[in-house]
Amino acid sequence: MTYSARKTTALTVLGVVLGGLTGCGGHGIVSTDGPQAEARTAAVAPPRVHAAPAPPPTLAPGPDGRTPVFEHGARTGGKVVALTFDADMTAAEGPRAAAGEHFDNPGLIALLRELKVPATVFMTGRWADEYPAQARSIGADPLFEVANHSYSHYAFASPCYGLPTVAKDDMRADAARATASFRKAGVRNTVPYFRFPGGCYDDASLSALAPERMTAVQWDVISGDAFATNPDAVADQVLDGVRPGSLVVMHCTRSAAPVTDEAVSQVVPELRSRGYRFVKVSDLIRAARR
């Protein structure tokens, strides 16, 4: 099969099972101290100055205020590459998880930590509901950032590989519901980036999501890890596709992407030997805005 045919097939298969993420904001730190408590503190000690962390970089809105779309980083900014992992679970897959199907992949996360590979995880809200401890752990690790892949992983544009479709009027709420699931699970290190389920979007969905002020994130390298059985083929496809500034889409779910960790274990040392450095999506966007 040609690269392009393989790519299309993989994307098609992927779309059937996986959904989209919506970017989430919310680095909210809630103070339980009221003004009186602050005043008491000030009487005995100088007020502490909290340097607010810089907000994650986003792109300016697109035409007519629509959600902007980011596909890859600068080609002239050096050999950097961002690996992204979609933690997919649809709103309809609860019974399958209850029956023992694994939509998580803790071994993959452990491998990324062992190899010290920064990564951006595009998580569905349904995934965070199912695996709150893992979601919290990923979101607490500075190695990672957590972005929004919708709540339901249903399609935001139709047709989209057979996925059920989210009504236009419900799109914003679906994205916001994922953000709420992250908050409920205690996920920190969230970034306001959204990945459309199946990568399917149109002007209407970009407009519908605009009030959420997220940056949509696609990719320029599809790994083909969805339903792959041969990790060598996945690794080859990534290694063939990566250029400076590339953004690679992979998956963090044993159910639909069972050989991803084996592929990553090949890709990481090889790309490093070629001089590449791994970064997060926020790093690519920050550099692209300069």
Select 86 or 145, whichever has its Cβ closest to Zn ion: 86
Between 88 and 129, name the residue whose CB sits nearer to Zn ion.
Answer: 88
Q: Binding segment for Zn ion among 14-22, 161-169, 171-179, 199-207 (CB under 5 A)?
A: 14-22
Q: What pairs with residue 248 in β-bridges?
A: 83, 221
Q: Which residue number, 88 or 141, has a Cβ lying nearer to Zn ion?
A: 88
Q: Does 88 bind Zn ion (CB under 5 A)?
A: yes
Q: Which of 10, 17, 18, 208: binder of Zn ion (CB under 5 A)?
A: 18
What CA–CA distance (Å, rounded) separates 182 from 178? 6
Q: What 3-state class would DSSP assign to 99?
A: coil
Stretch that binds Zn ion, among 3-11, 18-26, 210-218, 261-269 (CB under 5 A): 18-26
CA dist., res. 181 & res. 201, Å (int): 23
| First and final C-alpha spacing in the chain | 40
* Strand (E) or helix (H) holding 43: helix 35-44
C-alpha–C-alpha distance, residues 218 and 254, integer Å: 22
Residues in the chain: 290
Burial of residue 63 (CB within 10 Å: 0-12, 13-18, 19+) is exposed
Q: Which stretch binds Zn ion (CB under 5 A): 48-56, 85-93, 213-221, 279-287?
A: 85-93
Residues 199-258 touching Zn ion, rule: CB under 5 A, are: none
Minimum CB distance to Zn ion, residue 9 (Å): 16
> How many whole angstroms separate alpha carbon 214 and alpha carbon 211?
8
The minimum distance between CB 86 and Zn ion, in angstroms, equals 4
Return the bridge partners of 152, or none: none
Structural contact between residues 224 and 58, judged by C-beta atoms closer than 8 angstroms = no
Residues that contact Zn ion, how many (by CB under 5 A): 3
Report, in Å, the least distance between residue 217 CB and Zn ion: 12
CB of 197 to Zn ion, least distance (A): 5
Strand pairing partners for 249? 84, 222
Collapsing DSSP to helix, strand or coil, 195 comes out as: strand
| Stretch touching Zn ion by CB under 5 A, among 12-20, 49-57, 139-147, 220-228 | 12-20
Closer to Zn ion by CB, 58 or 255: give it.
255
Query: Which residues, at least 6 apart from 38, have a Cβ–Cβ distance to it below 8 Å?
Result: 47
Q: Which is nearer to Zn ion, 18 or 200 (CB)?
A: 18
- Kindly indicate which of the ranges 79-87, 139-147, 215-223, 262-270 contains the residues binding Zn ion, using the contact rule CB under 5 A: 79-87
Residues 171-190 close enough to bind Zn ion by CB under 5 A: none
Closest residue to Zn ion: CB criterion:
18
Our CB check for Zn ion shows the closer of 13 and 80 to be 13
Rounded CA separation 193/202 (Å): 17
Candidate list 24, 56, 86, 253; residue touching Zn ion; CB under 5 A: 86
Name the one range near Zn ion by CB under 5 A: 13-21, 37-45, 113-121, 204-212.
13-21
Binding site for Zn ion (CB under 5 A): 18, 86, 88
